Amino acid sequence: MHDEPDDAVLARQAALGDRDAFAGLVDRHGPSLFRYAARVLRDPALADDCVQESFLAAWRGIAGYRGDSSVRTWLFTIVRHEAQRRGRRSVEVMDLTEVQDQIRDLRADPEQDNLDAALREALDLALAALPARQRAAWLLREVEELHYDEIAQVLGTTTTAVRGLLERARTALATALEGWQ
Amino acid sequence: MSDHEDDERLLSAATSALRAHTDSGWRAARPGVLDRVRRAVRPSAPVRGRHGAGEFTVASGVLATRVAAVVDRSPAASARRVSCVADAHQELETVLVELAVEFGAELLSVSREVRSSVLAEVERLIGYRIPESVVVVDVHVADVFKPPPRPPVY
């Protein structure tokens, strides 16, 4: 069996000019980075632009990547900066009652036959009711499974602040999803 | 079961569904990302070279890529990092090569062999002899990952 080279090896080869190695990183991390950007920005076109620019910045800057953090954390940090430059809409928070109403409608929709897709849609609505930093911290922890110190690095804050953001985010999401019950 | 437990189960199921999901937006964006990276030019300082008809410049990034390819031909070593630095007049000042060398390899002979092949390659590319001291070889003992031969990147 042939093991895939790990991120550090691909990053080193990419730093030396190997575009195929970089394409390996794009394929490995692109789905996660897009998933994160789309929910932080709440706009697919902006997310597309954000992820494209982030990978371009990563390609240009990878020779300066020293391996102090994982490649994944480094990429999320770039995406977070790119998202911040575009993110007017992400700071708008949807009204909780409105979100709960929309989730209730989604639950009641008789044409909804794919439970996972419906749950995802409900969660996306619930996330829109969170302040931007809570949303970002929660996505990085629960969906992308970064460690607390990695999230702190991506968001430019402390692990204590991350714990606080996550606690508030979990409570707020559970409240928003009450519309599903 | 309490309402609180129901809420947690629901949130956990929705989170798993999102974690397993790849957005169609990513599938649409991927070819554009790869295409832009393929066409992107990395900013790279010029290094002066000379040939019979005069002088020319070659991007330091291109030099570094070619040096890395030469290092990777060695059976016991692999390039971890290569940087080529020119002075304010674009004259090559330093070629720094960080090597990963297989545990147990003869470090001195591997680094000597690498230095001489790097010197030869750089001189071929810039067209004139350089002092041996220009090439600095740092050795890092590690498991060597030998990548498949890569095509030249210009």
Q: Alpha-carbon torsion B41, B44, B46, B49, what sign?
A: negative
Q: Are residues B36 and B65 in the same domain?
A: no
Query: How far apart are alpha carbons A44 and A31 in whole angstroms?
Result: 13
Q: Are residues B23 and B85 located together in one domain of the fold?
A: no
d(C-alpha A80, C-alpha A54), whole Å: 9
**What chain B residue is nearest to A25 in terms of C-alpha separation?**
B34
Q: For residue A138, what is the nearest residue in chain B, using CA coordinates?
A: B15
* Same domain as B107, residue B36: no
DSSP labels, B18-33: HHT---HHHHHHHHHH
pLDDT digits (tens, 9 = 90+) for B54-96: 899 998 888 998 999 899 888 888 888 888 888 888 899 989 8
Q: Rounded to a whole number, what is the distance in Å from the CA of B1 to chain A's nearest CA?
A: 13
Nearest to A60 among B18, B21, B40 (CB): B40
- H-state helical runs in A16-70: 19-41, 44-61
* Bridge partners of residue B92, in order along the sequence: B86
Q: Which pTM does this prediction carry?
A: 0.79
CB contacts < 8 Å between A and B, how many?
130
Please give the Cα distance from B115 to B111 (Å, whole number).
6
User: Do residues B22 and B98 both lie within one domain?
Assistant: no
If asked whether residues B48 and B110 sit together in one domain, one would say yes
Phi, psi of B41, rounded to the nearest 5 degrees = -100, 130
pLDDT on residue B106: 83
Are residues B115 and B128 part of one domain?
yes
Q: Are the C-beta atoms of B56 and A49 separated by less than 8 Å? A: no
- Chain centroid to CA B12: 41
How far off is chain A from B54, nearest CA to CA, in Å? Answer: 28
* pLDDT given at position B134: 85
pLDDT score, position B149: 53
Asked whether residue B37 falls in the same domain as residue B51, the answer is no
First to last CA, chain A: 47
The CATH number of whichever domain residue B59 belongs to comes to 3.30.300
Pick from A34, A56, A117: which is nearest to B29 by CB? A34
Q: Does residue B152 sit in the same domain as residue B109?
A: yes
- Half-sphere exposure for B81 (CA within 13 Å, toward CB): 15
Which residues on chain B are in Cβ contact (under 8 Å) with A119?
Answer: 10, 13-14, 17
ipTM comes to 0.89
Residue B140 phi/psi, 5° resolution? -125, 120
Contacts of A34 in chain B (CB under 8 A): 23, 25-26, 29
Q: Which residues of chain A neighbour B22 with C-beta distances below 8 Å?
A: 31, 35
- For B103, the domain range is 44-154
Residues B19 and B36 in one domain: yes
Q: What is the pLDDT of residue A1?
A: 42
Q: Is residue B62 domain-shared with residue B18, that is, in the same domain?
A: no
Task: List, as ranges, residues 76-95 from B with C-beta within 8 Å of A.
Answer: 79-83
Query: Does A125 contact B at CB distance below 8 Å?
Result: no
Nearest Cβ partner for A15 among B4, B30, B81: B81
User: Which of A95-109, B104-118, B130-144 has the weakest average pLDDT?
Assistant: B130-144
Same domain, B37 and B59: no
Nearest to A19 among B3, B68, B153 (CB): B153
The answer to whether residue B117 neighbours chain A at the CB level (below 8 Å) is: no
Per-residue pLDDT tens digits for B93-110: 989 888 888 777 788 888
Residue B140 has pLDDT above 80, yes or no: no
Q: Do A177 and B14 touch (CB under 8 A)?
A: yes
Q: Domain count of chain B?
A: 2
Beta strands in A10-168 (DSSP E): none
Match 């956990």 to its residue by tokens. Answer: B12
Same domain, B117 and B62: yes
Closest approach of chain B CAs to the CA of A17, in angstroms?
A: 6
Determine, for residues B25 and A34 on separate chains, whether the beta-carbon distance falls below 8 Å. yes
Q: Which residues of B touch A122 (CB under 8 A)?
A: 14
